[in-house]
A = this chain, B = another copy of it.
Amino acid sequence: MKRDSRLSIVLHGLLHMEAHGKPMTSAELAVCMDTNPVVVRRTMAGLRDRGLVHSEKGHGGGWTIARPLGEISLLDIHESLGEPDVIGFSNKEESPGCLIEQAVNRELDATREEMRAAFAARMRAITLADIWESVRDRFVAHHNYRKDHHHDA
């Protein structure tokens, strides 16, 4: 299966927008994210429609985050992408006549529901601010490591 990586793409883009400080164009984002400007627009479109980001045309235009990072959960973003299915396996047939296949589907459906619940619970609890802090922590750690170990004259 070709797996959906839009959530990964969008999160990466959003945090670069935050780091940039001013509106960032689709072309600039595309370079950061090693993809295409049209892919950026297409992927951000859902977030724009929900008011998570803002886009502006013309000179000085581009993308900005429209809310405080702490008020955007990863679940909000997932929903803005149209809630693509996060499960990698499916039933051969969704409404089979066969009693055996029905029983198999019941069991696998229940498993998928549990996995979706685990996904939603975690994604609801995490905001962009959390990831942003995680970036900062690692950056500081890296900086301190270099400071403690540098061998310059």
CA distance A126 to B111 in the complex (A): 11
CB neighbours of A7 from chain B (8 A): 89, 108
Stretch of A53-61, A63-71, A117-125, A145-153 contacting B (4+ beta carbons < 8 Å): A117-125
Closest to A18 in B: B100
CB neighbours (8 Å) of A142 from chain B are 99
Q: Say whether A88 contacts B84, CB under 8 Å.
A: yes
In the complex, which of the residues B19, B122, B131 contacts A104, with contact meaning CB atoms closer than 8 Å? B131
Among B8, B103, B107, B108, which residue has its beta carbon within 8 angstroms of that of A108? B8
Q: Which residues of A in the span 26-69 have a Cβ within 8 Å of any Cβ on B?
A: 32-35
Q: How far is the CA of A114 from the CA of B85 in the complex (A)?
A: 16
Are A86 and B84 interface neighbours, CB within 8 A?
no
- Contact (Cβ within 8 A) B131 A103: yes
The smallest C-beta distance from A114 to any residue of chain B, in angstroms, reads 5
| 6 nearest CB pairs, A to B | A3-B90, A88-B88, A11-B104, A5-B92, A103-B135, A103-B134
Q: Give 27 pairs: A residue, B residue, CB < 8 Å, sorted on A.
A: A1-B2, A1-B4, A2-B90, A3-B90, A4-B88, A4-B89, A8-B89, A8-B90, A8-B91, A8-B104, A8-B105, A8-B108, A9-B92, A11-B107, A12-B101, A33-B92, A84-B89, A85-B88, A86-B89, A87-B87, A88-B88, A99-B138, A103-B138, A110-B122, A111-B118, A111-B119, A115-B115
